[in-house]
Chain A
Amino acid sequence: MEFKPAYPEDNNNVSHNNPLREFVVLLTGVLLVCVAVFVVSGWLVDRAVLWISPKMEAQIFTALSPAVKDSVGQRSSGEDVLQQLVDGLGSCIDVGYPVKVELVTTETANALALPGGRIIVFSGILDKIQSENGLAFVLAHELAHFKHRDHLSGMGRGIVLTAMTAFLTGSDSGLTRLVTPAVSLGTASYSRSREARADSLALRALHCRYGHVGGATEFFRAMQNEERGRGIASYFASHPEAVERIQQLEVLQRSQGYTTEAVTSLPERLMQK
């Protein structure tokens, strides 16, 4: 047998397709699947939330999250004032179960609605707000979340998101990093629409309680100064920009014919820390 060296013309062990095309096609597929799963499960969560009665919710979450301050004796006078405000709003927004307010001393200016009928108010908010009406609006906003059961659907969607991320992380970590931004974009826009809905109900409640809507935009005006120029980040934000919220409230106020009158100043007892 004679040895004749020859060099193959083509390398047929390697595909010559464009990898970028393959990448785009596959990524689009994954994203579509994720978005579909997220939309469908989000819809299911929203449906399921309606089936959770306030009683069941209270049972589940008091077991899960023990109260920060449980006994009545520990409640500060500030909390009593806040509680009175919430109870006063109760006739305007009927949540269906008792809501308990807790005041946490911190510089953060915010308030949260937690499952199980708990509103957490961070004391930093008291420096941003000058009037009782302004504070009542913030509390009404949180009550509106309870009324719409946003706290539950938000949590349910969070669980779905975590499950999905865990699933993807199981197969490939780089992928998760590609998909998460897309999904969080969806979550954020969903969350912003919820916030807007809660704002409008809160405005109605404020009008119902005080007969006018003075002080409604107080908190947002204070926040507005802090968040100038969010740019592209606004698409990822869970809350609408303060400017937008103020505008929406003003539009709603005009369409409903709500008036603005003099506001009541914050109760003295709340200011003593």
Chain B
Amino acid sequence: MEALIQLGVLLVLVSLGFFVGRIAEKRHYSSIIRREQEQLGRPTTAARTVMGDDRPVGRSELVMGSVVISVDYFKRLLAGLRNIFGGRVQAYETLVDRARREAMLRLLESCPEADQIINLRLETSSIFKGRQKQVGSVEVLAYGTAVYFQSPLQ
């Protein structure tokens, strides 16, 4: 009986994780894609100098964007199974991908007036380790330099 209850609880958790996680991921991706297309016009690079522009730089500032995203129960279990056999942990791919892109978007959205973002860096860290040091959620921090050119009138 005890084993049955355990199995039941697990099934609920897994299906909750699977369905809710799937819906959340779909929604997040559609939001990411829409916002990325909105932000597409501005050069955002990892280069240390301003690119493709001869205008003098008016000012520059440090900009950051960070996000913490967690995997659902289903994916955590799937990754656990994958850990036994080895191979690409596909369950975690969307987690990291979403986190990177969301952090970038937050950075870009924090400086709507900037002309370019240069010196862009991304840092990832797992900030929650569940029991047995499983990866639960990751934080991605994006930081860079927002460059504002001098307007011709100045």
- Known A-B contacts A13-B93, A14-B93; A7 and B4 likewise in contact (beta carbons under 8 Å): no
Task: Find out whether the CB atom of A185 lies under 8 angstroms from the CB atom of B74.
Answer: no
The residues in B between 62 and 111 inclusive whose CB is less than 8 angstroms from any CB of A are: 73-78, 80-85, 88, 90-91, 93-94, 96-97
Task: Find out whether the CB atom of B36 lies under 8 angstroms from the CB atom of A172.
Answer: no
- The complex places the Cα of A172 from the Cα of B18 at a distance, in Å, of 18
Residues from chain A with a CB closer than 8 A to the CB of B4 are 181, 232-233, 236
Q: Name A180's contact: one of B3, B18, B41, B84 (CB within 8 Å).
A: B3
Residues from chain B with a CB closer than 8 A to the CB of A64 are none
- Is A169 interfacial (CB-CB < 8 Å)? yes
- Smallest CB gap from A232: residue in B: B4
A12 → chain B closest CB, angstroms:
10
B122 → chain A closest CB, angstroms:
13
- Is A63 interfacial (CB-CB < 8 Å)? no
B45 → chain A closest CB, angstroms:
9
Residues from chain A with a CB closer than 8 A to the CB of B37 are 7
- The complex places the Cα of A175 from the Cα of B85 at a distance, in Å, of 13
- Is A96 interfacial (CB-CB < 8 Å)? no
Which A positions have Cβ atoms within 8 angstroms of B? Answer: 1-3, 5-7, 11, 13-15, 17, 19-20, 22-23, 26-27, 29-30, 169-175, 177-178, 180-181, 184-185, 232-233, 236
Please name 13 further chain A to chain B contacts, defined as beta carbons within 8 Å, in addition to the given A26-B78, A26-B82, A174-B80, sorted by A numbering. Answer: A7-B37, A7-B40, A15-B88, A20-B18, A22-B78, A26-B81, A171-B83, A171-B132, A172-B83, A174-B73, A177-B9, A177-B10, A184-B3
Which B positions have Cβ atoms within 8 angstroms of A? Answer: 1-4, 6-7, 9-10, 18, 36-37, 40-41, 43, 51-52, 73-78, 80-85, 88, 90-91, 93-94, 96-97, 131-132, 134
Q: List 5 A-B contacts (CB under 8 A).
A: A5-B41, A22-B91, A171-B83, A236-B1, A236-B3
